[in-house]
Amino acid sequence: MAAFEERTTLGRTGLQVSRLGLGSSFKAPTSAYREAFDRGVNYFYWGSIRRKFMCDAIREIGKDRREQLVLVIQSYSRVAALLGPSVERGLHKLGVDHADLLLLGWFNNPPSPRLLDAARALRERGRVNHLALSTHRRTLLPTLLDDEDFAVWHVRYNAVHRGAEREVFPCLRGREAEQRPGLVTYTTTRWGNLCDPRKTPPGERTPLGTDCYRFALSRPEVDLCLAGPDDSEQMKQALAALDAGPMEPEEQAWMQRVGDHIYAGSRSASLFDGAK
Domain annotation covers residue 3 = no
What are the two backbone dihedrals, phi and then psi, of residue 264, each rounded to the nearest 5 degrees? -65, -30
Domain annotation covers residue 2 = no
Domain annotation covers residue 201 = yes
In this prediction, residue 275 carries a pLDDT of 46
The reported pTM is 0.94
Range of the domain at 133: 8-272
Per-residue pLDDT tens digits for 8-44:
999 999 999 999 999 887 788 999 999 999 999 999 9
Domain annotation covers residue 1 = no
Q: What CATH number is given to the structural domain containing 253?
A: 3.20.20.100
Q: 34 in the Ramachandran plot: left (φ > 0), alpha (ψ -120 to 50) or beta?
A: alpha
Per-residue pLDDT tens digits for 197-231:
999 999 999 999 999 999 999 999 999 999 999 99
In this prediction, residue 2 carries a pLDDT of 60
246 pLDDT above the threshold of 60:
yes
Per-residue pLDDT tens digits for 151-197:
999 999 999 999 999 999 999 999 999 999 999 999 999 999 999 99
Domain annotation covers residue 127 = yes
Domain annotation covers residue 177 = yes
Domain annotation covers residue 130 = yes
Structural domain count, the chain? 1
Alpha-carbon distance 163 to 6, whole Å?
A: 27
Beta carbons within 10 angstroms of residue 11's beta carbon:
26
276 band by pLDDT with thresholds 50, 70 and 90 = very low
Domain annotation covers residue 16 = yes
